[in-house]
Amino acid sequence: MQDLNNFILSLIRNPGFSEKVNDIEVEFGNSLYQPMLDRYIAGENVPFTEVQKVWRKMGQLASGASGFVEQFFPLVRALNRQLPPERRLRVLAGDSPVDWDQIKSIDDVVRLVHRDASIASVMEKEVLSKHRKALMLFGTFHLMHGTGGSAVSLYEKDYPNLTFVITELGIFDTDLPTLSSSRLATWPIPSLALAKGTWLGPWI
């Protein structure tokens, strides 16, 4: 997903981004370490080996080995140094606040890890209730409207019609005899299209 990673990093670097967005909530962050993450993103002297706990001690194992994640946090920290205080970005860790060093069994995971509920709680407490705006970086299934169990559907009970979801196509429409027969083959790269009311809609 390097193209997607590059797009996200270029979006955050765009000078106009911090004029529109206050916070970035991420899937690849353990909310147990939010105070330390706040200090790091604000530019305080937090050792990088310490702040790495945010994404290395969490339920998403792939985050610990992700080059994108290792770039993301230092990038936001560096951008904040160049921004006036009122436009500095805050990064919110959305994953369940769990001390993974204390996890001993699958029963502990079932009891303590409630990812969508945690994502929704962070959004409600830190963004929506404060009338702020956030970019959410999560897998699509956490963001789908009206599913009953997704993070977005959980907080939309109290904050409806505020979340616009953009998802990459991933491997959709690639299991064809030839890719040239895809309806997407002639689209320019990159492309952005509204899916509601179209043949793409049911998938998004």
* 203 phi/psi in degrees, rounded to 5: -85, -15
Q: How far apart are CA 71 and CA 66, in angstroms?
A: 9
Can you give the pLDDT at residue 203?
47
pTM of the model: 0.88
Place of tokens 């919110």: 92
pLDDT (tens place) for every residue of the chain, 204 residues total: 788 889 899 999 999 999 999 999 999 999 999 999 999 999 999 999 999 999 999 877 777 678 899 999 999 999 999 999 999 999 999 999 999 888 889 998 888 889 999 999 999 999 999 999 999 999 888 988 877 789 999 999 999 999 998 887 655 555 556 666 677 778 887 778 887 777 666 545
Which of 24, 34, 98, 23 lies closest to 60 in space, CA to CA? 98
Can you give the pLDDT at residue 159?
95
Which of 73, 86, 104 lies closest to 9 in space, CA to CA? 73
Can you give the pLDDT at residue 59?
79
Can you give the pLDDT at residue 183?
73
Can you give the pLDDT at residue 176?
59
Inter-axis angle of helices 34-41 and 67-81, to 10 degrees?
A: 50
